[in-house]
Structure 1
Amino acid sequence: MPTAPDPLRPQDRVAIVCTARKASHEELAAAVATLTGWGLEVVLGESTNIAHHQFGGDDEVRRRDFQHQLDDPGIRAILIARGGYGTPRIIDQLDFSRFAENPKWVAGFSDITTLNCHLLRLGHQSIHGVMPLLFHQPGGEEALESLRRALFGAPIIYTVAPQSLNRFGTAEGELIGGNLSLLQNLTGTASDCPTDGRILFLEDTDEYLYSIDRMLVHLDRTGKLCHLAGLLVGHFSNPQDNLVPFGQTPYEIIDTYARRYNFPVAYGFPVGHEPENMALICGRQARMTVNESGARVEYMEAP
C-alpha cells in the first residue's frame, strides 16, 4: 500500500516551487497569504520569480530547487506553483531516496500528473489538487478548502449529481489518474503506473476531439482500461474540433471505450481545469458508488 505522509500541522514549513511554467512572487502573494492564514510557514523556492523562456528557470534550476525541497526534512509539503509544461523534462534526474526516508506531501495537477504518477510508482501518496497560482480563481473556494482538508488530514467525501452516461455500481481501489494527455505520454516510462484494480480519474483541457479519442485508443490498447475497478471522468474543458466535426463530445468518446467493460463510471466529477477542482489523494484507497442518485467517493483509509 502506498505510504501516506503525515498530515500537516500548524507551524509546519511548506515550499512553493516551479517544476514547469514560471510564476512571480507577485502572482504567488495571495497564495502565500492563504497558506500563512492556515498557520503554515511558506518558503518560496529558487525556481519562483525567475524565468527561462516560459519555464520557472532552466531545467537545472527547476531540478535543483525541487531536489532541495525533497531532501530538506524541515519542509513538510511541496506545492507546485503552476502547471503548463516542463515537469517531464526533469523527472528522471530527481533522486527520491531521502524523500523515501521522510515522505512529505507533493501537490499539483495538470503537468504535475507526472509527479503524482512517479511518486505512486515509487510507493508514495500525493495530492492532485489546485495549485497556488489558482488558489483564488472565482468559484474555486470549495476546491481550495478540499486541498486544505487533504493536507491537514480532515475527512473528505464527494457527492456528484447524476449524469446520463453514468454506469452504476460500486468499486474499491486506490485512486490514480490526472491529465489524460500526460497519462498517455507516461506510458512505458519510469513514471508509468499500473491501473489494474484501481479507480482511474481523467481530465484534460484544450484538446481536439480526435486527439481525445486517439489517447483513449492508446490507453485501451495498452491495457490501461480493461481491469479498472472504476472510472471517474472530470472536466474536459474547451474541447476543439476540426472543420469536419468529429461527431462526439468528450464524454461520448470516453463512453465508447468504458462501455466495453463492467466497471462503474461517474461523469461530471469536479476535477480538472475548472474552478471546481477537488483534491484527490493519489494512491489512497477509496470507494466509489454510482446509482440513480449520482456518485459518491469516499476514502477508506484513516488520514
Structure 2
Amino acid sequence: MRTYGLPSIIPPYLKKGDKVAITCPAKKLPVPITDAVNLLTGWGLEVILGETVSAGHNQFAGDDDFRAADMQRFIDDDSIKAIFCARGGYGTIRMIDKVNFDGLKQNPKWFIGFSDITLLHSHLIKNYGLACIHGQMPLNIPDATKHSLETLRMALFGQELTYSIKPNPLNRMGEASGILIGGNLSLLIAASGSVSDVDYDGKVLFLEDVGEYLYSIDRMLRCLKRAGKLNGLKALIIAGFTDLKDNDIPFGQTLPEIVMDVVKEYNYPVCFDFPAGHVSDNCSLILGKEISVSVTANEVTIKQ
C-alpha cells in the first residue's frame, strides 16, 4: 500500500482585520517594501514588519540566528495569521534548522513566497503537512502584474483558483489530481536527502527556475529521476524557466524537449507555460493542497 505523506493541513484563510507579518529569511532587502505594505493594508490586513526587513549582515538580512529569531517570533505569535517572506535570494537553508515550527501544529498559518523559499515550503509540507502559498513576495510587488496579485489575494482569502493556459505542442494530454508539491528546481535538489525532502509519490509536481544552464536543468531533472521521484507522479506542471543559458557548444535541446526526454517513459499529463516563477505574472498556487490538471489538445485547465 502506498503512503503519500502527512494529511494536508490548510491554515485558516484570511479575513479583513487579520494580522500578517513580513520577515526576511534569506537575502537582505535592497529597497523599502512600501508598495507591499500598502497592498496588504488595502486588502484590510494589519501588517507587522519583522526586524529583518531593515537589517543587513553581508548579503543576508541579518545573521542566521537573527533571521531565525525573527521568523520564530511570528510563528509563536498566535495573532499572526500569515507570514510573508519578503524576498528570496539565498539564505533560507542557513537558518531553517534554527527555527522551531512545532507551534504550527496547534496554530497553522500561511507562509508565502517562492524561489529560495521553496526549501521552507518543502520543509513544512514534509514535516507538518502544512499547505503554503507559492506566489509573489513583497520585494516583487512593484513589478507584479495585477492579475498575479489578484491570484495571491484569492489564495489567501480562500477563493478558488482556476487557470486556463494555451496548449504547448509538447504537452502530454491527460487528466489528474493530487496534492501539489514543488517550486524552484534548484532548491528541490538542495532539499533532496534532507529532513526537508518532500515525498513525491502520488503528487502533482510543479517546477520553475531562473538563470540556469540548459545542461544544469537536464542534470537536476535526471537527479530527480534517478532518485525515483518522477516515476510515481500524477502530473507535471512546468512554469517559468527564465534567463536560461547555454554553452558555446549548444546543448541541443530546448527546455520542453529536455523535460519530455526525461519523462518520456511515464504516462502522466505534462503541461508547459504555466505563468509562475521569476516572471511578472507570477500566479499563485497552493503547495500541499489538492489540485486538478486537465491537458487537452486545445487547452490546459488547472483548478485548486
- RMSD of aligned Cα (Å): 0.9
Look up the match of 1:149: 154
2:25 pairs with 1:40:
no
- Quick check: 2:19–2:48 contact (8 Å CA) kept in 1? yes
Q: Give the structure-1-normalised TM-score.
A: 0.96
Q: Which amino acid aligns with 2:228?
A: G
Matches within 5 A, 1:1-303: 1-23=7-29, 27-121=32-126, 122-137=128-143, 140-299=145-304
**Separation of aligned partners in 1, 2:166 and 2:302:** 12
Give 1:136 shift.
2.2
Consecutive unaligned residues in structure 1, runs of 5 or more: none
SS in 1 for 2:33: helix
**Separation of aligned partners in 2, 1:263 and 1:149:** 28
Aligned length: 297
Q: Deviations over 1:181-229 (max 9, x none)?
A: 0011111000001111110000000001111011011000001100000
Superposed structure 1 runs of 4+ greater than 4 Å apart: none
Q: Deviations over 1:228-248 (max 9, x none)?
A: 000000010010111111111
- Quick check: 1:288–1:295 contact (8 Å CA) kept in 2? yes
- Quick check: 1:258–1:265 contact (8 Å CA) kept in 2? no
- Quick check: 2:161–2:303 contact (8 Å CA) kept in 1? yes
- Quick check: 1:175–1:284 contact (8 Å CA) kept in 2? yes
Q: Deviations over 1:231-269 (max 9, x none)?
A: 000010010111111111122111111222000001011
Identity of aligned residues (%): 48
**Separation of aligned partners in 2, 1:278 and 1:133:** 15
Q: Which amino acid aligns with 2:270?
A: V
SS in 2 for 1:14: strand
**Separation of aligned partners in 2, 1:127 and 1:259:** 30
- Quick check: 1:87–1:114 contact (8 Å CA) kept in 2? yes
Q: Deviations over 1:132-191 (max 9, x none)?
A: 1111205x2111110110001111111110001100000110000000000111110000
**Separation of aligned partners in 1, 2:227 and 2:142:** 38
- Quick check: 1:118–1:190 contact (8 Å CA) kept in 2? yes
SS in 1 for 2:32: helix
**Separation of aligned partners in 1, 2:67 and 2:263:** 38
Give 1:53 shift.
1.1
Q: Give the structure-2-normalised TM-score.
A: 0.96
- Quick check: 1:216–1:254 contact (8 Å CA) kept in 2? yes
**Separation of aligned partners in 2, 1:48 and 1:27:** 8
- Quick check: 2:84–2:137 contact (8 Å CA) kept in 1? yes
Q: Which amino acid aligns with 2:27?
A: R
- Quick check: 2:65–2:98 contact (8 Å CA) kept in 1? no
Q: Which amino acid aligns with 2:10?
A: A
- Quick check: 1:160–1:296 contact (8 Å CA) kept in 2? yes
SS in 2 for 1:211: helix
- Quick check: 1:206–1:240 contact (8 Å CA) kept in 2? yes
**Separation of aligned partners in 1, 2:253 and 2:146:** 32
- Quick check: 1:7–1:151 contact (8 Å CA) kept in 2? yes
